[in-house]
Amino acid sequence: MKFGLLVFPGSNCDRDMADALEKDLGQQVILLWHKDKGLHPFSTDDCIVLPGGFSFGDYLRCGAIARFSPMMQSVIEFAGAGGKVLGVCNGFQVLCESGLLPGVLLRNAGQKFVCKNIFIKDNLEKNILKIPVAHGEGRYYANAETLHRLNMNNQVIYRYCDENGEVDTRSNPNGALENIAGICNENRNVFGMMPHPERACNPILGNIDGRQVFNKLFGI
């Protein structure tokens, strides 16, 4: 399995993601520049990753300009053909802006940047993971119809919780609706999440819970 890692001006977690995938998880990574176009080295068995950061300085809205990059047009086509796509933090924002995932990411409740370890719970298997967050606009929002559809289709893949797995407002770092920390599309090949699993893959960091995220989504 190959991973294409899309780099925008302002991406700052691309090398973190590359190190986690290559050095910690033993995967092949190819960096992709946003101005290029075409994903010819990749098949639908591979994955394209949109990393965290501040693409185009977060002007207009987070991810609003990145959505129009030439490479994003290729990513949209790749996802439409069944290829796997993962967006983390700013990457999640870009996926929502591009229409590959429903909803939007708003300013955090309290209007403050949040950077700390939090806990998330796998919506199906109920595993509790400690994963870092680092964002100022991570509050997931969608209308009632979209939320109903996400829940009915089991498209919510992670929710914020406490260390015991309790899901409530106290364990919600940004005010996201229904404590939503990550979702997927209806075809279950496009994934977006706010926490940074790539920052929890190396024993040196004292936490390898992020490996479980990549294993759940991609079997690695």
Short-list 81, 71, 86, 66, CA closest to 21:
86
Active site residue 137: no
Short-list 59, 93, 58, 99, CA closest to 76:
99
Tell me the C-alpha distance between 213 and 220, whole Å. Answer: 9
Active site residue 198: yes
Catalytic residue among 62, 97, 196, 201: 196
Catalytic residue among 96, 135, 198, 201: 198
Tell me the C-alpha distance between 55 and 215, whole Å. Answer: 27
List all residues 6 or more positions away from 79 whose beta carbon is below 8 Å from its beta carbon.
48, 85, 100, 185, 189, 190
Catalytic residue among 62, 89, 96, 161: 89
Tell me the C-alpha distance between 14 and 53, whole Å. Answer: 8
* Greatest distance between any 2 Cα atoms in the chain: 46
Residues with a known catalytic role? 89, 196, 198
